[in-house]
Structures are given as structure tokens and as C-alpha cells.
A and B are shown apart, each in its own frame.
Chain A
């Protein structure tokens, strides 16, 4: 095992897949000459040239649309949308074109494209450069939504996303780019649609997404000191959604807290909570609690943003609330 940052692990995935398959091409704003705003594509222009690492104008709708067209023409595009907040600009291409093509063509078309993006909550980027909105895409059958929380999953899941015959929205966490973690030396992929139990526990299940997985692991450590054993499940992908792993865990612990960086109302937690209630109601000993963001746009002020963001302490609080301790 080697140590890599989350950004470098992603970069390795791109590079390896570009070597493996000549049809893999990258396109997006500032990904070439500038090496990517977060340096995920560093060095790839030099290695693969401007045709396979294609800098685009600021045209999000056309970036996504071109990715759709490239996929239809037999290529494997990996498009980058610099901030998750820019996705609404290309929502038509993602949600109304790419996601529905296979279905409404009666299976004649496949759209093997990846749209990489990141959210920058916690980096003082203000209301329009910070938001985490994967739950929007729960309403879009046909799309896969992947959200890795550590370097090893980031690499393995990006490789799987590139090889997947479906459109994949790949959501990275801006705050995690510089975090390091072990990454296998050998070739590997991580299957899309399987949650991962990041820590075993007996008393309560915490299902977490993206950056909140790390916060939840920190929370579990604090709780351990007080004799509370929390299990932390990293959802890893929102579509498909691994209810089986969550249900298996909840059936053992009988308690559930869900932690994510999106606005609580109508968010990821709402969907997980509803699914668990529908499928495991008899096993639950307490109401399900969500740890997420308040129903406001994201404030710029660094102090306010810190108060706004969920964190390990808030997960601890929620767990104690559910356990009545």
C-alpha cells in the first residue's frame, strides 16, 4: 500500500484508464494547461496531448452535451464541471438527455460517460460555490451517482465509473482533495452500488456520505471512549443505493443516524430514512435522526460557515439523542 492524496488517487484512476482505453478522453474547463483547478488532471495534458485532455470554453451545457455526443459516438468521455453548483447549467444534458436515452430508445443507446464534479463546503466559497446537491439526482433514474470519501475508494470508484456503460455523476469533496490515505499498489476497482462498513459497531448505525464519513469516524472514536460502539457505513453511491448493507446493520443495532453535507429537507437522509422505515421498521428501537445542513443558502462568513456545517460533534450529539445517553 502507498499513501496518496484523494486528488492524486483520482488522477491515477484517470491516467490508468486513459492508458487502458484509447477512447477515454477528458474535457472541461481549465483541465489541461492549468492542470485542473484542484490539480486532479495535473500532468495529463503533457502525457496525453490536447486531443485527449481537452480544455473547453466556459460552456457547461455544451461540455455535458458534448460528453453525451462523444459517448453516443463510441468514446468514453470524462467531463469535469468545476463546481457542483454549476450542474444546473447542464441539467438538461445530464438529467433529460443522458439519463433517459437508454430507456426511451428501448435499449438501443448506451451513454457511457462520467461527469466529475466537486463541492467546496467548508472552503469559504459562499452560497454559489459550495453546495452539495446529490439528492436532486435521486429523482433521475438512469443516472448513477457516486461519492467517494477516501483516496482508495476515490480511485477504485472512478475506474469503475469510467468502465460503466451508463452515465455516472461522480461527486468529489473539495475539502478532501488534500487528505491522504492508503491506496493499493496493484490494479483494482471498487464496484458501484456497494456501501462499505468503515467501522464495525454494535449500538448504533451511522450512514454517512462523502466528507461526513470522516466526521462520522471521528465521532465514533469519541463515542468509543464513552462506551458507545457505533458502526459507520459509507454509502459510496447514491444510485444505485445499497439498502441491503444499511438494513443488515440497522437490524443489528436497531438505531440509525444519517450524516451528510446537504440541506436536511428532502436530502439524502430523507431518502435513506424513508427506505429504512419501509423495510426495517420492526427492528428500530428509536426514531431515525439526520445530521445535515440547515435550510438556508451557505453563508460566506467563515465563523457562520463553521456553525452551518455538520461535523463530528453534531454526529456525537445526534447519536446520544437517539440512544438517550
Chain B
């Protein structure tokens, strides 16, 4: 019988207990800051400078999920993510330069400017295998990836990321069934950010909770504080071990919140002000920094250094993106079919 484990927030008095060395903690902070600064820059490029257009779905407030998850995976594990994928891409080591150039539609982007923001997490070189812009569609795909890895006897595992909205699609249910039925080495990170566009979970999900729905497929399920990077890391580690050693899937419902609206142009004004304020107090980066300081892992100066370095990396990515040019139009035909 599958169970739902309510991990919520793990004990963090002792980071070492979770295998978190100073080096790893700094890496966590660095990655979260890269995502945060990338997204803040993207927002500025859209809204202030008018340099970017098209749909762009920010990951602000959810950084700890991608970062905690990716740090628990091996570099060659494969991910299938979504159109809200800047954070997944950066956390899975897609260089910021390539991501930014992709958002600008330049041939120097990882998808040569043919994919754009919603597919920026496609970079198989670092295991960032695929990113879909159709809600729910990644779940059957990750079933296939997991099956392929299992059948080849690979030690690699697969992980997928999707929002609460995906849990109401047919693809979700068909995919969940296959993953549980065939015991596939897959981690399913449901980033429950409380809203599918503007529709709150309570108006969209019939079951008492998303985790309860997952458990009903016979899948081990965890409910995790998605705004706490260490909790996500610890849960993902357990799940990854189960996938790698026993070829069993785990569903991780990560509770979180979008700091902004659905897309870059959405101010999210349909959300109660008190609710927004309550969640903003739990900003995953602010709280993590506070912990690192309080527990004497890092000094304020050391944190400032990471801040400055990551900011510089993002500024550089904009310069890189702006110097590129789009693919010549007569070349796009060459990307339709493989020879």
C-alpha cells in the first residue's frame, strides 16, 4: 500500500545530517540566485525595457524546487519539464548565456532561437532533456523515458516537473497509471503553486488533495515544503534512491506559490492580498540566506559575494544574447527533419 509522507519542512539544525556540506549549501544558494536574478532580469527586459516579447512564465518564488531537486539528482539523470522552465534549465546547468539568447530568439540560444522561453529547458547535453508547453503532456513522455532507461538497464533515472493544473489533464492520469503499473524509475515533482493561471486548486481538483490522488495510483507520495530548498533536496534524495535502487516512482507534491502571476504580463491581482503577503514572507531565498547566516554556515560578506557573482553572470548573459543574431530564415527548413 502506497503511503503519503508529510515531510513538509525537515529539521535543519544540522545540515550535515542531510549530507549538506558547506560547498553544497553554497551551490544551492548560487543556483537559486542565478534563477532569481535571471527571472528578475527577464521581467525587466519585458516590462521596462521592452526588449523581450512573447509568453514567458516566471519561476520567481519556486526556485527552491528546481534547485533542491536537481541537486539531489545525478548530472546525467534526465528531466522533462514545462513552459515555466527557466528555473529548471538553469538548475540543470544549462548555461545562462544560452538561455538568455534563446529568450531573445537568437541562433546562439540552446534551441537556436527556434524554441523560445517555453522550451528553454531543452538541453540534452546536461540531461535537461525536454520541456513541453502543453500542460500535462510531459507525464506520458517521462513514462517513456523511464521505461527506456529501465529497459536498457541504465543507472540513470528520470524526473518530471509540472504544476497543479497538470493534475487535471487526461495525460496526467494515463501517464501516472503507466509509471506506477510498470514501476518506472521516475520522480514526479508537482509544483503546487496554488493556481493554474488564475484558477485556484480548490476550484479545480476534486480529490481532498493532489497527493491523495497520486497515492491512489499506488505510488509513494511525499508532501514537501516547496519553498524550502533543503526539504526538497532531502525528499528528492530519498525518492531518487528509491528510483535508482528499486526502480520505483515517487510523487512529490511541493507546496509553493508564484511570486508573480501566470505569465510575465499577469500581475496576479485575482489573488487575496493577505495570501500573497503571507507567502512572500516565506520567500525561499530570503529564508535560506537567513538560515545560512544564523547557523554560521556563511557570513554576510560571503553571501554578498555570491549575490554579486550571480548578478554579473546574468548581466553577461544579456550582453551575450544581444550580440547574437537570429538564424537565417532559409535555414529553418533544415531543422524539420533529421537525415
Contacts and interface: CB of A to CB of B under 8 A. Distances in A.
A197 interface: no
Contact of B140 (A25, A62, A75, A142): A62
Q: How large is the interface on A (under 10, 10 to 19, 20 to 34, 35 or more residues)?
A: 35 or more
B175 interface: yes
B137 A66 contact: no
Given A77-B144, A92-B171, A108 B177 contact: no
Interface string B259-292: 0000000000000000000000000000000000
Given A25-B151, A92-B137, A106 B143 contact: no
Interface string A75-116: 101000000000000001100110001111111111000000
A104 B130 contact: no
A166 B335 CA distance: 11
Interface in B140-162: 140-149, 151-152, 158
A97 B111 CA distance: 15
B9 to A, nearest CB: 33
A75 B152 contact: yes
A104 B174 contact: no
Contacts of B219: none
Contacts of A101: 130
B123 A62 contact: no
Interface in B205-222: none
Given A102-B337, A102-B338, A108 B140 contact: no
Contact of B122 (A25, A77, A92, A108): A108
Interface stretch (B29-37, B112-120, B248-256, B304-312): B112-120
B335 A59 contact: no
Contact of B132 (A56, A73, A97): A97
Contacts of A105: 111, 114-115, 119, 122, 130
Contacts of B124: 108-109
Given A62-B140, A72-B145, A103-B336, A109 B174 contact: no
A68 B116 CA distance: 21
A105 B123 CA distance: 8
B148 A106 contact: no
A144 B336 CA distance: 11
B142 A69 contact: yes
Contact of A70 (B113, B148, B336): B148
B339 A69 contact: no
Given A62-B177, A106-B109, A72 B148 contact: yes
A141 B122 CA distance: 20
Contacts of A56: 178
A165 interface: yes
Interface string B316-339: 000000000000000010111111
Interface of A: 23, 25, 51, 56-57, 59, 61-62, 64-75, 77, 92-93, 96-97, 101-110, 141-142, 144, 165-166
Interface of B: 78, 80, 109-116, 119, 122-125, 129-130, 132, 134, 137, 139-149, 151-152, 158, 170-171, 174-175, 177-178, 181, 332, 334-339
Given A59-B178, A142-B336, 4 more contacts: A59-B140, A69-B143, A102-B337, A108-B110
